[in-house]
Amino acid sequence: MAFHAAVEGLMREVSQKAILPRYQQLKAGEVEDKGGNDPVTVADREAEAMLAEGLARIIPDLPFVGEEAAHADPSIMARLAGDCWIVDPLDGTRNFATGKPPFGILVAMASGGVAHTGWILDCLTGRFCVAHKGQGAFVNGEKVQARSTGGDRPVAAISLLFMDPAKRAAVMDHVNPHYRLVDVPYCAAEQYPRLALGENDVSLFEKTLAWDHAAGVLWLNEAGGKAARPDGSPYRVDGATHGGLIGAASPALWDEMAARMAAL
């Protein structure tokens, strides 16, 4: 489809021109803290500017919600309730800023608070994921079906970073012992593919900003996995930015984790 090809081409161009040339090459003053140990680099800003300009050529006048733009002007978040682009120009900035993988670009389109199209690019490997609501999920042009790791104990990547202390302690005591824990990649552009491609079975997210999750939630659900709020309600891009999200390689694995979380 020409439309998908145009977005993919733009994302790859941004990766090659704005992001990869600065990987492990950042200079003093090219990394800042937005507050709360949330780094931003010159690459984030240049990538977002390129994406905003390029996406405006693909669909003129479609409102744009970028992570850095919304940080500078929180009123931009109101656009999430309508038709819009949603962009994380450099997902995994924490990794990128310290010179290690993974990191990627996330782009989604939404209408009425619901994402209907999403694209995920791994900048280093070139892996490209795309999904359109009702049409399945694809990796590098091949349709994929979510699969579990197949082990005796489900593999879980559980992010505790943004949980309040009481919830963190409850998860560590009552949820973690039932899973084989692996490190979280601090990169949604990597975590969502892991949930469908047989690397992880389940993941917990606490912070649920639209640019981090719009594309991945759609892609995982289209692959036959399940991503939803812990109470089972669908993830909305215009919803709460905290409160949790469960992603899993299958509805059954999702149900198991949701039941454990509900019992806390």
Residue 88 labelled as part of a binding site: yes
Residue 91 labelled as part of a binding site: yes
Bridge partners, 248 (sequence order):
202, 226
Residue 30 labelled as part of a binding site: no
Residue 8 labelled as part of a binding site: no
Residue 206 labelled as part of a binding site: no
String of DSSP letters for the chain? -HHHHHHHHHHHHHIIIIIGGGTTTPPTTSEEE-SSS-EEEHHHHHHHHHHHHHHHHHSTT--EEEHHHHHH-GGGGGGGGSSEEEEEEEETHHHHHTT-S--EEEEEEEETTEEEEEEEEETTT--EEEEETTS-EEETTEEE--B----SS-EEEE--TTS-HHHHHHHHHHTGGGSEE----S-HHHHHHHHHBTS-SEEEES---HHHHHHHHHHHHHTT-EEE-TTSPPP-TTS-SSS-EEEESSHHHHHHHHHHHHT-
Q: Which residues are annotated as a binding site for Mg(2+)?
A: 67, 88, 90-91, 212
Binding residue numbers = 67, 88, 90-91, 212
